[in-house]
């Protein structure tokens, strides 16, 4: 998820574009760049780092010109660096391209272009587009872009300019968001509304495979067959703040709503034509898998909680003992890591100090290190032996939500592939569970569509001082995450208990009206959970249960029930966490707290 902006008009393009990109940094902020055409010359400036690096450079070395395209990056192919930053351009530096999305067939196109003598400068998928447009360019930029995109497979929002066409910009949308903006004597393209709002509120929302052609003062839109498309212009009512949150009140709520897309991207972009998972970036052979006799999953906070579910899947599928631990403890405990160990590190930011320190410790002990992270080019992704990216897109809110569900999805994909390679699961089961995983995004949407119920329940616990979460098995791991979410954004004291432990002490905390969130999603443990819920109910607890739709008998022991769509017990944690994220969100906002920036917390903890 990157941000692109394009401009043709009477203002200084660099100024307009850098300003627009500053409103899109929530889409990616690891590198930024711009290309401007002025007096028949194409000038490209691009740098690793926040947009401010580019802005400072332009401040020092002015950039003239009324035509330009710009980009703020969230790396997927090629780690953040000056050369991998956008815009990318052709060999003669006459054509420049900015891109948001992923070109799935870029390797084959790259080999083809290389065989035609093209030399590549970057590791990105995007650079192939600049060379393809150049290949087809015979003076008509729109023509060349149409021919180039006809070769592409994947998702792309593109902005293309050429030094020979000083009054022309071409943009294309397929699967990645792109809008076009109409101003007084100026026209714009951008990934999202916030980039344009300062200059115009008149925008076109582009459909898939539509092409924008800005020429001189005119903006025209064509379909994939080059037919002119008449479109209704939309008058935006939002202010910039609201727009960068996509119309949501906060990044946390926006990111909760982005989980269907995050899980879909993390899974489906790794399925080959036969529906098998391709773990690109992981080259652990069958022989190495055979040699591994201990697996560790180490992380912090929410990532640790995702690791607990990974432990369950790896043990179930691979039949190997898995130790899951928090990094700040693991690094000082006896951990028996050696050359036959696989250490999986989970980290959204890829910069968490304790997790990074574990990486360095276990590498010294000869272990194989596999990182699951959301940030390409992060320290952990660079130092690990193998890296698997969650494709959740940038997570801005401190309280981690979409990173958690995409981390679990990633851990399940790795467990399934390792087990299939090792022969500890059948090809049939492998296909069956992947087909069930593909249905998760729509089930998440179904839960999110029922959030009014969760909002009502939040009203019943907002004034409480203590809230307890109960679960057995994977539901206990889920209870830990639910409790952390509530704690970190509402400041209410909450704890997660293994339900079977209640009678060994913790039930002493239960008194009249104490809210207890009981997670009962596992078939084989359902009856046991119901009896634990009766135990706390008998002591006066206000029981809010989370259960699968078909388990209506839970109503007998609950004051409130949040049903989630029926689902395979292995996959249900990815669904059951959503109501708890929403509950924490609503309690926090009802308390008037800053849900995106909770007190005492930081998005990435880079100190021990």
- Residues numbered 65 to 104 that lie near ligand AGP (CB under 6 A) are none
By beta-carbon proximity to ligand AGP, the closer residue of 508 and 607 is 607
Q: Which residue out of 294, 453, 591, 603 is catalytically annotated?
A: 603
If DSSP codes are grouped into helix, strand and coil, which group holds residue 496? strand
The count of C-alpha atoms lying within 13 angstroms of the C-alpha of 310, restricted to the half-sphere facing its C-beta, is 33
Query: Which residue from 53, 357, 462, 605 is in contact with ligand AGP, where contact means CB under 6 A?
Result: 605
# of chain residues touching ligand AGP (CB under 6 A): 15
Dist. CA 191–CA 195, nearest whole Å: 8
The count of C-alpha atoms lying within 13 angstroms of the C-alpha of 508, restricted to the half-sphere facing its C-beta, is 3
Query: Given the rule CB under 6 A, which of 344-352, 430-438, 439-447, 527-535 is the region that contacts ligand AGP?
Result: 344-352
Residue 343 and residue 362 in contact, taking contact as beta carbons nearer than 8 Å: yes
Query: Which residue from 400, 409, 521, 545 is in contact with ligand AGP, where contact means CB under 6 A?
Result: 400
Active site residue 162: no
Dist. CA 313–CA 420, nearest whole Å: 13
Q: Is 180 in the site for ligand AGP (CB under 6 A)?
A: no
Residue 595 and residue 467 in contact, taking contact as beta carbons nearer than 8 Å: no
Q: Is 355 in the site for ligand AGP (CB under 6 A)?
A: yes
Q: Is 353 in the site for ligand AGP (CB under 6 A)?
A: no
Hey, which residues does 342 pair with through a beta bridge?
295, 368
If DSSP codes are grouped into helix, strand and coil, which group holds residue 64? coil
Query: Given the rule CB under 6 A, which of 345-353, 409-417, 464-472, 532-540 is the region that contacts ligand AGP?
Result: 345-353
- 42's CB contacts (< 8 A; 6+ apart) are 35, 36, 89, 93, 94, 95, 96, 161, 162, 163
Q: Which residue is nearest to ligand AGP (CB)?
A: 301
Query: Which residue from 12, 124, 266, 347 is in contact with ligand AGP, where contact means CB under 6 A?
Result: 347
Say which DSSP state 89 is in: E
Residue 125, preceding peptide bond in cis (omega within 30° of 0): no
CB 361, min distance to ligand AGP, A: 16
- 428's CB contacts (< 8 A; 6+ apart) are none
Residue 457 and residue 583 in contact, taking contact as beta carbons nearer than 8 Å: yes
- Category of 28 on φ-ψ map: left (φ > 0), alpha (ψ -120 to 50) or beta: left
By beta-carbon proximity to ligand AGP, the closer residue of 352 and 532 is 352
- Residues numbered 487 to 506 that lie near ligand AGP (CB under 6 A) are 488
Residue 381 and residue 350 in contact, taking contact as beta carbons nearer than 8 Å: yes
Active site residue 603: yes
Residue 126 and residue 97 in contact, taking contact as beta carbons nearer than 8 Å: yes
CB 394, min distance to ligand AGP, A: 12
Query: Which residue from 349, 405, 410, 494 is in contact with ligand AGP, where contact means CB under 6 A?
Result: 349
- Category of 366 on φ-ψ map: left (φ > 0), alpha (ψ -120 to 50) or beta: left
CB 513, min distance to ligand AGP, A: 28
Query: Which residue from 12, 66, 348, 409 is in contact with ligand AGP, where contact means CB under 6 A?
Result: 348
- Give the per-residue contact string, 271-310, with ligand AGP (x = CB under 6 A; - = no): -----------------------------xxxx-------
Q: Is 53 in the site for ligand AGP (CB under 6 A)?
A: no
CA dihedral 175, 125, 412, 494 (to 10 degrees): -70
Query: Which residue from 398, 519, 529, 543 is in contact with ligand AGP, where contact means CB under 6 A?
Result: 398
- Residues numbered 455 to 494 that lie near ligand AGP (CB under 6 A) are 488
Q: Which residue out of 2, 162, 300, 567 is catalytically annotated?
A: 2
Tokens representing 51?
A: 């947009």
Cβ atoms within 10 Å, residue 513: 12
Query: Which residue from 38, 85, 352, 381 is in contact with ligand AGP, where contact means CB under 6 A?
Result: 352
Map tokens 């839109």 to a residue: 221
Q: Is 376 in the site for ligand AGP (CB under 6 A)?
A: no
CB 567, min distance to ligand AGP, A: 24
Query: Given the rule CB under 6 A, which of 229-237, 396-404, 538-546, 575-583 is the region that contacts ligand AGP?
Result: 396-404
Q: Is 399 in the site for ligand AGP (CB under 6 A)?
A: yes
Catalytic residue ranges = 2, 603
Q: Which residues bind ligand AGP (CB under 6 A)?
A: 300-303, 347-349, 352, 355, 398-400, 488, 604-605
């Amino acid at each position: 998820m990157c941000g692109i902006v394009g401009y043709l008009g009477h203002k200084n393009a660099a100024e307009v574009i850098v300003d627009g990109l500053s409103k899109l940094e929530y889409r990616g902020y690891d590198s930024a760049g711009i290309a401007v055409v002025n007096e028949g010359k194409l000038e490209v400036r691009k740098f690793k780092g926040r947009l401010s690096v580019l802005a400072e450079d332009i401040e020092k070395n002015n950039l003239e010109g009324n035509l330009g395209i710009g980009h703020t990056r969230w790396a997927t192919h090629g780690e953040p660096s000056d050369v991998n930053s956008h815009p990318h351009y052709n060999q003669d530096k006459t054509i420049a391209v900015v891109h948001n999305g992923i070109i799935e067939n870029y390797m084959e196109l790259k080999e083809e272009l290389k065989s035609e003598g093209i030399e590549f400068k970057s590791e990105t998928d995007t650079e192939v587009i600049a060379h393809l447009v150049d290949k087809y360019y015979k003076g008509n930029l729109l023509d060349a872009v149409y021919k180039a995109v006809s070769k592409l497979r994947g998702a792309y929002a593109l902005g293309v300019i050429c030094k020979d066409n000083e009054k022309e910009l071409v943009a294309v949308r397929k699967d990645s968001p792109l809008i076009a903006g109409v101003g007084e004597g100026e026209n714009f393209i951008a990934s999202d509304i916030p980039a344009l709002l300062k200059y115009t509120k008149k925008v076109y929302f582009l459909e898939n495979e539509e092409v924008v052609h800005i020429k001189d003062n005119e903006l025209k839109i064509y379909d994939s067959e080059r037919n002119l498309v008449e479109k209704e212009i939309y008058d935006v009512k939002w202010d910039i703040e609201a727009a960068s949150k996509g119309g949501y009140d906060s990044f946390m709520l926006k990111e909760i709503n982005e989980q269907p897309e995050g899980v879909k991207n993390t899974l489906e972009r790794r399925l080959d034509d036969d529906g098998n998972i391709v773990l690109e970036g992981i080259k652990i052979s069958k022989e190495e898998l055979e040699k591994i006799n201990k697996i560790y999953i180490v992380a912090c906070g929410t990532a640790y909680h995702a690791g607990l579910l990974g432990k369950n899947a790896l043990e179930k599928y691979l039949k190997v003992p898995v130790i899951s631990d928090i990094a700040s403890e693991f690094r000082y405990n006896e951990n028996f890591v050696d050359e036959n160990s696989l250490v999986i590190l989970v980290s959204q930011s890829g910069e968490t100090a304790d997790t990074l320190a574990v990486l360095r410790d276990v590498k010294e002990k000869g272990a194989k290190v596999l990182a699951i992270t959301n940030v390409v080019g992060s320290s952990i992704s660079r130092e690990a032996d193998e890296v698997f990216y969650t494709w959740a897109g940038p997570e801005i809110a401190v309280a981690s939500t979409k990173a958690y569900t995409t981390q679990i999805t990633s851990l399940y994909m790795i467990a399934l592939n390792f087990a299939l390679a090792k022969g500890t699961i059948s090809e049939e089961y492998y296909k069956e569970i992947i087909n069930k995983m593909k249905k998760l995004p729509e089930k998440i949407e179904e839960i999110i569509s029922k959030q009014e119920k969760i909002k009502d329940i939040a009203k019943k616990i907002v004034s409480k001082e203590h809230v307890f979460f109960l679960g057995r098995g994977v539901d206990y791991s889920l209870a830990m995450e639910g409790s952390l979410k509530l704690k970190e954004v509402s400041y209410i004291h909450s704890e997660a208990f293994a339900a079977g432990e209640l009678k060994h002490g913790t039930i002493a905390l239960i008194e009249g009206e104490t809210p207890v969130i009981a997670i009962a999603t596992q078939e084989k443990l359902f009856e046991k959970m119901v009896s634990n819920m009766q135990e706390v109910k008998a002591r006066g607890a206000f029981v809010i249960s989370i259960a699968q739709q078909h388990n209506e008998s839970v109503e007998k022991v609950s004051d409130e029930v949040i049903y989630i769509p029926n689902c395979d017990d292995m996959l249900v944690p990815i669904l059951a966490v959503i109501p708890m994220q929403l509950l924490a969100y609503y309690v926090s906002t009802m308390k008037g707290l800053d849900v995106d920036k909770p007190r005492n917390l930081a998005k990435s903890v880079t100190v021990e």
